[in-house]
Amino acid sequence: MDSESGSKINKLLRKWPPGAIATPSWLKSQGVYQQLVHQYEKGAWVRRVGQGAYVRYADKVEWPGGLYALQEQLGLPIHAGGKTALQLQGYAHYLPLGQGAAVSLFGAPATKLPAWFRQYKWGAKIRYAVTGLFAGDQELGLTQHPMGSFAVRVSAPERAIMEVLYFVPKEETYEEAKLLMEGLTTLRPRLVQSLLQQCNSYKVKRLFMVLATVCGHRWVSGLHDAEIDFGKGKLSLTPGGQFYSKYKISVPESKPQRISRNSRA
């Protein structure tokens, strides 16, 4: 490798966060074109992990490193949400997180995951949901979460719990959603209010208010029901469940047992 190429690879590695995927468009923005990428592959500086995806040669890359590329290099409106966001921020320490655990990613309508992301073996099940759960500002309730040498956008707890409720009861259980809500003692009423007003799901809004009320959270007093559209008619998550007349929704009867807080993944 000549001195110019050596200087360029050193400059590239300084800007390339360890553990992150690099896409051809980003490499090109750094002055590294395809021919030079091939040279770096031969020189064991980089390796390809899919069509249009590269990593530092010796790096172990996990899903956050792929998500970083989707967000920061490709500009895709995709974020980590639901239980995954709650786990990352320490609100669900008793739920499994790690090798084999499901990772919940959410994308704006019509947003597709690139083939390299779908096909790579991340060591975790990727559950990707394209939803129009929230109207208006698509960034509402998202926050930057540090992942070592880089950060990714994830749902703040206020948004994440609503994303969990989106999957109840088909993919998430009411009981687990209730356990998660119990731990959310410090939600911000102003953000909750904005999210509820922009939420497009009557089920999510009604279920959120039922669980928040049942859990006795103080921040509920800072919400204004009259400004939230809960829809009309009755909803039911289960036949013969407990009916909450204020929010016109039936939910499963609460079970006496609960997951131990001392149970760790």
Q: Where are the domains of the chain?
A: 3-56, 63-251
Strands 249-251 and 242-244: antiparallel
Q: How far is CA 202 from CA 10, 72, 110, 213, in A?
A: 53, 33, 22, 17
The reported pLDDT for the residue numbered 5 is: 55
Structure confidence at residue 238 (pLDDT): 87
**pLDDT score for 96:** 52
Residues of the chain where predicted confidence (pLDDT) is lower than 50: 3, 97-99, 257-265
What is the helix (H) or strand (E) element at residue 203, kind and residue range?
A: helix 202-214
**pTM over cut 0.85:** yes
Q: Is 256 helix (H, G, I), strand (E, B) or coil?
A: coil
Half-sphere CA count of 27, side-chain side, radius 13 A: 21
Confidence (pLDDT) at 239: 86
Q: Which residues, 6+ apart, have CB-to-CB distance to 71 below 8 Å?
A: 78, 79, 152, 153
d(CA 54, CA 18): 12
pLDDT given for residue 262 in this prediction: 41
Quote the CA–CA distance of 79 and 106 in Å, as a whole number: 5
> Rounded to an integer, what is the distance from CA 40 to the centroid of its chain?
33
With DSSP H G I counted as helix, E B as strand and the rest as coil, what are the percentages for the chain, rounded to 5? 40, 15, 45
Task: For residue 134, give the DSSP letter.
Answer: B
Q: 265 near 102, Cβ under 8 Å?
A: no
- Give the Cα separation of 106 and 111 in Å (integer): 9
DSSP state of 72: I
Q: Are 254 and 178 in contact (CB under 8 A)?
A: yes
If one counts every other C-beta atom within 10 angstroms of the C-beta of residue 190, the result is: 12
pLDDT at 258: 47
